[in-house]
Chains A and B, each alone.
Chain A
Amino acid sequence: MKRSTDRILTTHTGSLPLPALIRQAFAAKRRGETYDQVVIDVALTTAIDEVVRRQIEVGVDIVDDGELSKTSWNDYVVHRVSGLERKPRSRARSAEPWSVARGILRPRETGMARVDIEGAPRHYRSDIAEFHDLAQSMSDGHDNDGMAYVCTGPLGWRDFAQVETDIARLTAAVSMTQPHDVFMSALSPGCFVRFFRNEYYPNEETYMQAVADTMRQEYQAIADAGFVLQLDCPDLASGANTDYAGLSVKQFRKVIERHVEYLNYALKTIPPEQVRIHVCWGNYEGPHHRDIALRDVIDIVLKANVTGITIESANPRHGHEWKIWQELKLPDGKILFPGVIDDTTYFIEHPELVAERIVRFAKLVGKENVIACTDCGLRHLPDASLAFAKLYALAEGARLATGELWRG
């Protein structure tokens, strides 16, 4: 894994806006309608070349494929892994977040239809659930139209070729443009068990074991391709106000300790310096006032046997948490990827603000241990020009920070 040895490097957490053609095809796929896979495949090859080129153009050092081939950062696995089955959720669900209907959040162009339902369950996210007047007759925050994938059979790969295709496309795209470094993201075992309930394995332990054994094949393939592997681990933070909202901090810590154990197990054949994990509190513009504090989970996060840790740090709910590094030492060899761009706002951060954020971290953990990153994925931005303008501000800010940190 490259580090900021003579300047501050830049990257992001993975997803970038989808070209319209692909977005429409995914929306059809999600609705269970027919779509033309050949059209998607042809479009993807061009789109990934293009997305790599644009990242380099705006000054991103460590690039990826924008996750353009994936319907989302987590549910891509249902198209690849066997043993998962689409079933109605136990309670009624609706497709559009309640918050969109009330104007609290700006709707994202997910192609989902709005469904109003009566007696909707408590919202999935505890911060939003608190607004009882709003949660009423609205969605619970899940995106799957009342359906959820559940594990009902032995896990295995039914289409591992999709992983290989992703790798081949990105390999081809970067061979032409030669970025500083390349990463590819994948779902962590902890998030897998969080999103897909087990109805097949005798207990949670054997389920986690099966998940780790299955997913590690994807991890290995990405590592073997020479890419940096990013495991998406919002379970370690955002889990606290969603799937595990009923738990105390102590109980939640127990859950994620186990997630990190299985993460380490799944990574045992991959060098830590080839892996980064992404930790966040959920990529949505809600109040977030029920988010668990970083200081309550960071020791467990640091137990992950990986070199890189990307953490949401730019938005107004987590912008103060750089201070934990005043008391906490970043273990030797680790690299911190603080979010210095907030993907939940359509503002383009001022490069001087980006620089200031980078410098704060660099002064505490050492400039060579910091890579400037985004808080979370950028796919939901309404306009690709916004995403790349934000990445340009990121690169500009990194240049300014480099100027300050390396002078004299």
Chain B
Amino acid sequence: MKRSTERILTTHVGSLARSDSLTPLLRLREQAQPYDHEELARLVREAVTDAVQKQIEAGIDIVTDGEQSKASFFGYIIERFSGFQRKPPAPGKEMRPRSAGREYVSFPDYYAWSERIAEPFGGRSGGRGHGGVDTCTGPVSYRGHEAIQKDIDNLKAAVKGQAHEDVFVPAIASSYVASTFANEYYRTHEEYEQAISDAVREEYKAIVDAGFILQIDDPRLVSYYMMNPELSIEECRKWAAQRVEAINDSIRGIPPEKIRFHTCYSIDVGPRIHEMALKDIVDIMLKINAGAYSFEAANPRHEHEYHVFERVKLPDGKILIPGVISHTTNLVEHPELVAERIARFAKIVGRENVIAGADCGFAASALRFNDTHPSVAWLKFDALAEGARLATAELWK
């Protein structure tokens, strides 16, 4: 994994908007309806080439495929893993799980409005829930070898001959899948999680074997607190510590410098006053055997949390990838503000231990409403790169 040895490097979280031609095909596949496989493969290939090109032009150093082949950051599970089935939700579980969370209970009118205004643009859940919920009904195993190989080939072809520092590929954490999709097959949660870890590990290995950086996505690690109003911080910490063990099991044998970990809060824009503070989870997150950690730091609810690292020492060799641009607002961050945010972290943990990132993906789902317009995301990448240049000038002078 490259680090900011001579200048501040830039990256982002992964997802980028899918084109108007690609989205309908991704939707058909997501809904298990017939679609033109060759056409989808061609559109994805073109989209990856385009996404990589644009990232490099914008000044992103550590690039990715923009998750162009996936319906969402976790929505590919049912395609690539056996043992899952889409079923009608269990009685009493018809609502999206977040609806019972602290935020929704505190601001029911806001969230009802927020869902309503997103409806014409694909809604906030991207139609999830209409076709049922993904449920584990049999032994879990990985069957996505061909799909991940296609992703790898597309990305390799796209970056070939292009100036870049590194390439990363996001993949879902076993802990996220196990705590999001209902289990009707395994006797215990631990067995269920173990089975997913063993399966997802195959995807991880394929990514690392291809020479790419593996990014493990687990929003649930920090959003579990918001979603479970009955649990205390201490109980959520205990829960999270167990999830970290599962994640570590899923990456056993893979060198930490090949892995970066991303977490976030599962809600884009909203009041978000009930989120687990970084100070309450940072020690547990840092136990994940990864080389770098990506987290939200650019929005009004988490921007002050860089102070956490004044008290918590970043272990030697580790890298922070704080969000310095936000996926939740169409205002384009001023490069001087981006530089200020980078410098704050660099002055605490060391400039060589900071890579400038984003809070979360700009299109975490291809099928739902995302808060930032696609065109604006590219302006934000420009601002990110310019901010990193300004920060570099300040930090290396």
Number of A-B contacts defined by CB within 8 Å: 118
Asked whether, in the complex, the Cβ of B110 is within 8 Å of the Cβ of A346, the reply is yes
Is A250 an interface residue when CB atoms closer than 8 A count as contact?
Answer: no
Selecting from A100-108, A145-153, A264-272, A327-335, the interface stretch reads A100-108
For B373, the chain A residues whose CB sits under 8 A away are 99, 102-104, 131, 134
With contacts A317-B334, A350-B304 taken as known, whether A131 is within 8 angstroms of B329 at the C-beta atoms is no
Q: How far is the CA of A213 from the CA of B369 in the complex (A)?
A: 49
Is B206 an interface residue when CB atoms closer than 8 A count as contact?
Answer: no
For A382, the chain B residues whose CB sits under 8 A away are 109-110, 113-114, 117
Q: How far is the CA of A169 from the CA of B134 in the complex (A)?
A: 57
Is B151 an interface residue when CB atoms closer than 8 A count as contact?
Answer: no
Is A407 an interface residue when CB atoms closer than 8 A count as contact?
Answer: no
Asked whether, in the complex, the Cβ of B272 is within 8 Å of the Cβ of A320, the reply is no
Residue of A nearest to B330 (CB): A285
Asked whether, in the complex, the Cβ of B334 is within 8 Å of the Cβ of A318, the reply is yes
Asked whether, in the complex, the Cβ of A347 is within 8 Å of the Cβ of B331, the reply is no
Asked whether, in the complex, the Cβ of A347 is within 8 Å of the Cβ of B110, the reply is no
Contact code string A304-330 (vs B, CB < 8 Å = 1, else 0): 000000000011111110010000000
Asked whether, in the complex, the Cβ of A103 is within 8 Å of the Cβ of B336, the reply is no
Asked whether, in the complex, the Cβ of A317 is within 8 Å of the Cβ of B332, the reply is yes
Q: How far is the CA of A349 from the CA of B298 in the complex (A)?
A: 12
Residue of A nearest to B116 (CB): A382
For A348, the chain B residues whose CB sits under 8 A away are 271-273, 300-301
For A314, the chain B residues whose CB sits under 8 A away are 300
Is B184 an interface residue when CB atoms closer than 8 A count as contact?
Answer: no
Is A91 an interface residue when CB atoms closer than 8 A count as contact?
Answer: no
With contacts A320-B334, A382-B114 taken as known, whether A345 is within 8 angstroms of B304 at the C-beta atoms is no
B226–chain A nearest beta-carbon distance, Å: 14
Residue of B nearest to A342 (CB): B300
8 Å CB interface, B236-286 against A:
269-273
For A320, the chain B residues whose CB sits under 8 A away are 334, 336-337, 339-340
Asked whether, in the complex, the Cβ of B301 is within 8 Å of the Cβ of A347, the reply is yes
Q: How far is the CA of A345 from the CA of B334 in the complex (A)?
A: 16
Q: How far is the CA of A107 from the CA of B121 in the complex (A)?
A: 12
**Of A133, A287, A356, A389, the contact of B330 (CB 8 Å cutoff):** A287
Asked whether, in the complex, the Cβ of B379 is within 8 Å of the Cβ of A385, the reply is no
Asked whether, in the complex, the Cβ of B300 is within 8 Å of the Cβ of A350, the reply is yes
Asked whether, in the complex, the Cβ of B273 is within 8 Å of the Cβ of A346, the reply is no
Is B150 an interface residue when CB atoms closer than 8 A count as contact?
Answer: no
Asked whether, in the complex, the Cβ of A383 is within 8 Å of the Cβ of B272, the reply is no
For A356, the chain B residues whose CB sits under 8 A away are 304
Asked whether, in the complex, the Cβ of B271 is within 8 Å of the Cβ of A386, the reply is yes
B190–chain A nearest beta-carbon distance, Å: 35
Q: How far is the CA of A106 from the CA of B113 in the complex (A)?
A: 10
| 9 A-B pairs with least C-beta separation | A104-B373, A320-B336, A320-B337, A103-B121, A349-B300, A316-B333, A353-B304, A352-B304, A347-B300
